[in-house]
């Protein structure tokens, strides 16, 4: 089974939910750039202070900051046997930085989650209780635009290792597909 896995898909596609399930099932870390940045904001670190308003607007945090954060995380012992990257790389610049740091086999499979936009909006508006600053409707639209403009080109960049996964249905149904896709 692939053990250096990238989860790609639009906001709300279920990347974080499925990445955590898979990480628990196969014992490799789930590395979420969004979760790490939200933690930095909550802790009031220098990184968090720089990232907070950018994230609240639905834009991307500068590449140099995110690349440094993820490279430090990938250097930890628990990532030696594999990892699930969720939210990074998010554009071509970040993908090139990852390749420069770890080589072409930094990612051996990319799961691409497909969910229609109306359902994505319902999911994101439906988790209001989590209090994410970027889950307001206007910001959700901005996040979709950023995904289309910045992140979708990665589908082409990793075309030789992409596996499409239908992200609709229950969490358990999607997880069955994820496990099936990875063999």
Q: Which residues bind ligand AP5 (CB under 6 A)?
A: 9, 11-17, 33-34, 37, 54-55, 58-61, 66, 87-88, 90, 94, 123-124, 127, 134, 143, 170-171, 174
CB 122 within 8 A of CB 140: no
Q: Alpha-carbon dihedral of residues 125, 131, 137, 142, nearest 10 degrees?
A: -120
Question: In terms of Cα–Cα distance, which of 102, 114, 140 is closest to 7?
Answer: 114
Question: What stretches of the chain show up as alpha helix (H) in DSSP?
Answer: 15-26, 33-43, 46-57, 63-74, 92-102, 117-125, 137-146, 153-157, 171-182
Cβ nearer to ligand AP5, comparing 64 with 78: 64
Taking the complex as a whole, how short is the minimal distance between the CB of residue 102 and ligand AP5, in angstroms? Answer: 15
Which one of 4, 38, 90, 123 is the catalytic residue? 90
Q: Phi/psi of residue 15, each to 5°?
A: -60, -50
* Residue 127 annotated in active site: yes
* Residue 90 annotated in active site: yes
* Residue 143 annotated in active site: yes
Which one of 76, 127, 141, 148 is the catalytic residue? 127
Cβ nearer to ligand AP5, comparing 83 with 88: 88
* Residue 132 annotated in active site: yes
Residues labelled as active-site residues:
15, 90, 127, 132, 143
């Amino acid at each position: 089974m692939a053990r250096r896995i990238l989860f790609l898909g639009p906001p709300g596609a279920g990347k974080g939910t499925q990445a955590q399930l898979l990480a628990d099932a196969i014992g490799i870390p789930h590395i979420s750039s969004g979760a790490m940045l939200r933690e930095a904001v909550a802790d009031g670190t220098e990184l968090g202070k720089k990232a907070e308003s950018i994230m609240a607007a639905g834009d991307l945090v500068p590449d140099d900051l995110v690349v440094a954060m993820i490279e430090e995380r990938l250097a930890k012992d628990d990532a030696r046997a594999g990892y699930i990257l969720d939210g990074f790389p998010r554009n071509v610049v970040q993908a090139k930085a990852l390749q420069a740091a770890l080589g072409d086999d930094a990612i051996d499979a990319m799961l691409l989650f497909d969910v229609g936009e109306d359902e994505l909006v319902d999911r994101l508006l439906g988790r209001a209780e989590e209090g994410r600053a970027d889950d307001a409707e206007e910001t959700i639209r901005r996040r979709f635009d950023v995904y289309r403009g910045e992140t979708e080109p990665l589908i082409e960049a990793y075309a030789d290792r992409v596996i499409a996964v239908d992200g609709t249905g229950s969490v358990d149904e999607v997880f069955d597909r994820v496990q099936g896709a990875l063999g």
